[in-house]
Structure 1
Amino acid sequence: MDNSTKERKLALQGGRTLAYVTAGNPSSTTVLLCLHGTFAVGEASSVSRTLVSKDTHRIYPTLPGWGNTSPPLPSTSYVDCLMSDMTVLLDHLYPDRGRDIKLYVAGGSFGTVPAQILYGASYDKFPYGRCIVGVLLMTAFAPFRYYEDYAKYMTWSNYLLIGPMSQWPLVRPMFAHLATNVARKVSTVDNAEKFLQEFIFDKMDKAEREEYAQWRAREGIAVGEIETRFAKNIVRSVATSWEGFKLTSSVLHADWGFRPDGLDEEHSRPSVMFVTNPGDKEAPQAWTEYLAACYKNVKVKTVGGSHIGTLLYMDEIWGEFLAEVK
């Protein structure tokens, strides 16, 4: 077993670099590709007991533009860059038997976007799509290009940041200014903790605070440990560049290469499990409802809490997901 969680870097064409972390059994052909959200990097510091108990190889790539992974080249779209990066990575890790793997793709929050892109990708561009047996989408984002009502459920801040206005030519340059303002808030781990506190933890209601405290106690996690870990990842995610952040809105509005309601029978073969939180304002439940009506072989699991509520249920979520796609 290879339980190393040290970040590795893979050289790509065009002088680009892909950062990633692996954990578990590198010889296992049961492969979990785990995709992170915004202000994060691929890392394996928190692992579900359910996953540890199973013979799996877990791969945590850092997405284009975040951390030590290069942004797409100017001549390449985000979608094509992602498919190419993940193909090269899986070829690198499985040079002899790569197409024999059983691939599970998982993402949370913005990470559900690259997860869906890979799920619906042309097999010519992402050959490992034929290996996908299950897709786990936690607090999912829908493709704004096809979901006409997406903006109805947004907070005002998200409406301005990633909603319709973010695509107006006169507004898009404001992203650079916004990045500068946010950069001051996450310039250090201490600052990033304060940012997290305001953005996530202060928005918990009393019931969720109590559940969070009980979960920490069960897991043996000290007060403030999760916040510090998240804050360190925020700082790492933008230490090299802010391109990942700047790309977020355009990726959400881009053509992902398919329509959710137009996938063929072969692409619709894998099981798709959604996890949604009724109290989540950042990825509203209505977005999951839209996607669940489009995709086939769907299961929807509802858990309590707000945007990070899934964190408290990860053992249960992984257990149900892996059982669903046996």
Structure 2
Amino acid sequence: MENSTKEHELVLQGGRTIAYATSGNASSTTVLLYLHGAFTIGETSRVSRTLAAKDIHHICPTLPGWGNTSPPPSSTSYVDCLTSDVTALLDHLYPDRGRDIRLYVAGGSFGTVPAQILYGAPYDKFPYGPCIVGVLLMGALTPFRYHKDYAKHMTWSNYFGVGPMSQWPLINRVSMGLVTFMIARQVSTVDKADKFLRGFLFDKMDAAEREEYAQWRAKEGIAEGETERRFAENTVRSVQTSWEGFKLMSSVLHADWGFQPDALDEEHSRPFVMLVTSPGDKQAPQAGTEYLAATYKNTKVKTLRGGHIGILYYMDEVWGEFLAGVE
């Protein structure tokens, strides 16, 4: 079994670096590729009991521009950079049997964007595409280019930050600089990031979710404040090297992801797609999940209580249901 707390770095031709973490059986050809959300990094320090009980190699790369992973070169699109990075990483970890792997792709929040990009990528761009057997999208975001009603359910901050207003060049330059400056001050240390995340996420829980959160912590043996601290530490690490990952989010959401969701061929539509949503999630509105469920083939929707991090309390159940759906 691998050390799940160690971060590895793979240096690519041309000098770019991919940071990643792994856990589980490194020789297993059953692979879970997990893609993280905003303001965090690829890490595997807490793996669901459901996954830990399986013979799975759990791989979590840090996305381009976050943490110690280099941003895309100026001459390369995010989509091409992502597919190339993940291909190189899997080639590195599976030099002999790479194309024989059974690949699960999962993502949470913004991480559902790269998960969908890999799912729909042409096989000449992502040669591991035929290996994908299941896709798990938790708190999914949609391809704004095709989801015409995406902005109707956005918070005002997201409407300006990554929504329609973010595509106005002057507003984008001014707002992005201002938002980056403001957030940078609040996540410059772990203590400050802890306070920021409590105000942004944890303090906004209603009474019912607070009780669920407390019960989850008790069941998992997690001390009060431990999860907040871990999130804060990863937030600081995610932007210590660069803010490019954050700055790219709006353009990636509005970009051409390399495929049209409702026009995927039969082979690309083969994998099981499970979507998990929460009605109280304001950052990834339930309407986005409904759009994807009606657009992709072979889908299943699971609705849970809670807000943006509510899925966290049900991860054992979610992974179990997802793996059973694939099998």
Q: Same fold (TM over 0.5)?
A: yes
Partner of 1:85: 85
1:186 aligns with 2:187: yes
Unaligned ranges ≥5, structure 2: none
Q: Partners of 1:126 and 1:114 in 2: how far apart?
A: 12
Unaligned ranges ≥5, structure 1: none
Amino acid at match of 1:189: V
1:148 aligns with 2:144: no
Structure 1 residue 177: Cα displacement: 2.7
Partner of 1:172: 172
Moved more, 81-90 or 167-176: 167-176
CA shift digits 1:2-46 (9 cap, x unpaired): 244310100012211000011000110000000000000000111
1:312 aligns with 2:305: no
Q: Partners of 2:326 and 2:179 in 1: how far apart?
A: 42
Mapping of residues 57-68 of structure 1, within 5 Å: 57-68=57-68
Q: Partners of 1:106 and 1:127 in 2: how far apart?
A: 18
The SS at the match of 2:145 is coil
Mapping of residues 284-303 of structure 1, within 5 Å: 284-303=285-304
Moved more, 2-11 or 199-208: 2-11
Q: Is the 8 A contact 2:4 2:44 kept in 1?
A: no
Structure 1 residue 203: Cα displacement: 1.1
Structure 1 residue 315: Cα displacement: 0.2
Q: Partners of 2:65 and 2:274 in 1: how far apart?
A: 27
Mapping of residues 95-110 of structure 1, within 5 Å: 95-110=95-110
Superposition CA RMSD, Å:
0.7
The SS at the match of 1:5 is coil
Q: Partners of 2:183 and 2:254 in 1: how far apart?
A: 22
Amino acid at match of 2:132: I
Q: Partners of 1:244 and 1:2 in 2: how far apart?
A: 28
Q: Is the 8 A contact 2:139 2:289 kept in 1?
A: yes
Structure 1 residue 172: Cα displacement: 1.7
The SS at the match of 1:13 is coil
The SS at the match of 1:15 is coil
Partner of 1:225: 226
Structure 1 residue 180: Cα displacement: 1.3
Q: Partners of 1:97 and 1:40 in 2: how far apart?
A: 30
Q: Is the 8 A contact 2:29 2:57 kept in 1?
A: yes
- TM-score (ref. length: structure 2): 0.99
The SS at the match of 1:14 is coil
